[in-house]
Amino acid sequence: MKPTLLALMMLSMGLLSGGARDETDYDITSEHEALREAAKHAIAEGDIPLFDMLLKAGLQINKPLDPNYKKYALHLAVEGKQPDMIRHLRKLGANPLLRNNAGNRPIDDLPQQLDGKLHDLVTALTREPTAYDKKLLMQIPLPVWHEIFGEPGAPPDPLAPPSEGMDGAGSVPFVSINGGDPLPEMTPALNAHYPGWRPGSRAEEDGGTAERAPLYRDKQTHEPGRIIQITLVPCPLADVVDRSGSLFAALKQDEGKANAYQFKVRQASGPIMAGGGWGGYVVPVAGYWMKVGTRGWDE
């Protein structure tokens, strides 16, 4: 069957089959929903002419093609190991920073197993830093903070009843960064990720009781809370320990020209056996910042 005829058949199938309605994104058109399956086929097969026809028919390049996992065209092209399709999607304006339901960008979904296509995939995804990438908070690039904080959570429901207990939304977050109170420039980011946060210096132990160990509370209001201690410091790439596999070793940048960052995020509701955390490294790869070597612990 000729490629053009196959493309027309797939286009027709997409237009006639329809698709599940995505109720969470009102900018997604019915045409896009009808064409998603055909687009997934085009990407898996590396069929650029078919994909272009689908775009002309109403496919939206920066809307999910797999709504269940929120996978975009670039995610599927990486999954299918299609470097030529990735390059084409980038030329068409596909956003390489969009994240799926797991919080991963296409670069984060690269195969861990080293094979002949890995270098081509990385090259196809490589991007030039933008003004956003060059912005600093506490002399650290914004995307590095983004990798640590992740996406902001949903804002609390103002109509919901108050939360009870030490671990719920009613537990005040007392935040410190590198051993001190956050600088004022950190306020917008902390407001988004830790609603109702207060400086770490506001926390104190409540002394405990005969029935329980000491817990943390606000020095002024005595509201119960938890401490959140964030440590983020630069380190040489040579010092990075990657526990996630051999991918980073293959992509490692020139160690003499770039720094990585080591981070730890510790949370505790009390000073004794009441906390834990996670940490690792954020490293520069192909114009992105990526977490590697992450691990968690309990206390």
Which domain range does residue 75 map to?
Answer: 3-126
Residue 176 in tokens: 């410190």
Tally of domains in the chain: 2
- Pair 137, 117 in one domain: no
Model confidence pLDDT, tens digit, residues 208-253: 888 888 999 999 999 999 999 999 999 888 788 765 554 555 555 5
Q: 75-114: per-residue pLDDT in tens? A: 999 999 999 999 999 999 999 999 999 999 999 988 766 5
Whether the CB-CB separation of 41 and 59 falls below 8 Å is answered with: no
State the pLDDT at residue 1: 46
Give the whole-angstrom CA distance, residue 62 versus residue 70: 11
Cβ-based neighbour number of residue 36 at 10 Å: 25
Quick one: 179 and 291 in the same domain?
A: yes
- Domain boundary (75, 110, 126) is at 126
CATH number at residue 104: 1.25.40.20
Contact between 263 and 138 under an 8 Å Cβ cutoff? The reply is no
Residue 279 CA, distance from chain mean position = 15
pLDDT at 161 over 80: no
State both tokens at 145: 């903070």
Residues 253 and 109 occupy one common structural domain? no
Is the domain of 144 the same as that of 264? yes
Indicate the pTM of the whole model: 0.82
pLDDT at 8: 56
Q: According to the model, what pLDDT value does residue 149 have?
A: 93
Tally of residues, the chain:
299
Question: Same structural domain for residues 53 and 76?
Answer: yes
Higher pLDDT, 239 or 201: 201
Residue 211: predicted pLDDT? 85
Letter string b/e over residues 218-240, b meaning 16 or more CB atoms within 10 A of that residue's CB = beeeeebbbbbbbebeeeebeeb
Q: Is residue 158 part of a domain?
A: no
**What's the chain's average pLDDT?**
85
